Amino acid sequence: MERIKIYTVSLGCPKTRVDTEAFLGGLGPGRFAPVDDPAGAELIFINTCGFIAPAVEESAQTIIEAAEAAREGGGGALVAAAGCLVARYGAGDLAAELPEVDLWLDLSERHRWPEMVLEALGRAGSGAAGRLLSTGPGYAYLKIAEGCPQRCAFCTIPDIRGPLRSRPPEELLAEARSMLEQGAAELVLVAQDLTSYGRDLCSEARLADLVESLAGLQGLDRLRLMYLYPAGLTDGFLSRLSQVGPPLAPYFDVPLQHAHADVLSAMGRPFARDPRRVVERIRARFPDAALRTSLITGYPGETEDAFRTLRDFVAETRFHHMGVFVFEPEDGTPAAELSGRVDRETAEARREELMSLQAGISEEILGELVGTAQDVVVDEPSPEWPGLHVGRCWFQAPEADGVTWISGPGVRPGAMVRARIDEAKTYDLVALAE
């Protein structure tokens, strides 16, 4: 059977990547061959993001450019668009704006994507269960739930991905074992809100129980938690986590969004109005924790005083990693109707100020590691420098944080090696395996 030549793009968050991996695995073993150029593809599969306006624009542009490249190459590729963009706007409205797309795949039919694509291509078969990792042997994502139970005023995700739908623990353990058998050294748990995991299940299974079970899997070098909603970081939960130990990394990705009480209230963030309490609670149980957060500047009502509170909070807290986004008034969200808009130029300037502050903090934190020994998970070879590899220490999440450039004995993709940190840059490290 001739294999289907597929050109794929996954946009947005790791959860989209997981959906793409499940789609490719669902086509069945040996059914497709990946290509790097849409001009040589039989199928162009774009898994889109529709979270905010820039992501919507990027998704549309990616579709248009891939379809144009296929046409210019003389190919007659089937163009399939999937994911959040489709869920947010619907195939009917999108078809008029993007006639380049031949097949629209909504999130609600995710389990049928392989079958729908094979049918559109005129290929026999209905797909098969499975998931094909695309991250290489260094790490793999384990999506433990769909949807989100929170209703933040600025966010479109609950409308796009729906309410919380936790996956059964036994299903997750089976998938985790499969990924470890495929060579993954690190598992990264992802969801819209990890801390809500299990609330919708009939059993009493919760995130701490799942973490304990996963941590005991044979062959797992590192376990990482991403997207921890602040309200879920209770002292009881953190106490449970503190008893797990390795391979669980003491890494906390907590999207705080702001630090001023009035702004947080307007955002609809239902947790302690002073985010310092969340940080203090984490550090009480994990004194050496690595903290990552995301913040928003220019939210309606963000006065100069509110921004100073945020800036002081960043300087005081000293996050290991931080992302800052300018507020986008998304259609259909309560935040889009708020008064007190901050002009774009001011919001951008505030973002730049915070990122400049964070750059100095990151450089200082990483500089303190020079001369120390660290365990580094190796992801992939450097595309430019023979013998040099891209790796990550426990405080560096894949595709989100800086990296550790590593060389020396035993360095190969999928390995965890002990290495000495020789140099620190603003966001990256340079290490030599011992």
pLDDT tens per residue across all 434 residues of the chain: 678 999 999 999 999 999 999 999 998 878 889 999 998 899 999 999 988 889 999 999 999 999 898 888 777 899 999 999 999 999 999 999 999 999 999 998 999 999 999 999 988 765 566 788 889 889 999 999 999 988 899 998 888 999 999 999 999 999 999 999 998 999 999 999 999 999 998 766 799 999 999 999 999 999 999 999 998 999 999 999 999 999 999 999 999 999 999 999 999 986 656 899 999 999 999 999 999 999 999 999 999 999 999 999 999 999 999 999 999 999 889 999 999 999 999 999 999 999 999 999 999 999 999 999 999 999 999 988 889 999 999 999 999 999 999 999 999 999 999 999 999 999 999 999 99
* CATH code for the domain defined by 373-433: 2.40.50.140
Collapse the DSSP code of 63 into the 3-class scheme (helix H, G, I; strand E, B; otherwise coil) and give the result: helix
255 neighbors 226 (Cβ within 8 angstroms):
no
Where does the chain hold its CATH 2.40.50.140 domain(s)? Answer: 373-433
Residue 141 pLDDT: 97
User: pTM of whole model > 0.85?
Assistant: yes
* CATH code for the domain defined by 4-121: 3.40.50.12160
In one-letter notation, the amino acid at residue 377 is V
Residue 127 pLDDT: 59
Torsion angle, CA of 398/404/409/411, rounded to 10 degrees?
20
Where does the chain hold its CATH 3.40.50.12160 domain(s)? Answer: 4-121
Quote the CA–CA distance of 89 and 56 in Å, as a whole number: 10
Helix H or strand E segment including 121: helix 113-121
Judge residue 50's burial from the number of C-beta atoms within 10 Å of its C-beta, 0-12 exposed, 13-18 middle, 19 or more buried.
buried
Architecture of the domain made up of 139-367: Alpha-Beta Horseshoe (3.80)
Where does the chain hold its CATH 3.80.30.20 domain(s)? Answer: 139-367
Residue 366: other Cβ atoms inside 10 A: 23
136 neighbors 380 (Cβ within 8 angstroms):
yes
Quote the CA–CA distance of 113 and 27 in Å, as a whole number: 9
Q: Where are the alpha helices (DSSP H) in 103-230?
A: 113-121, 157-161, 169-181, 207-215
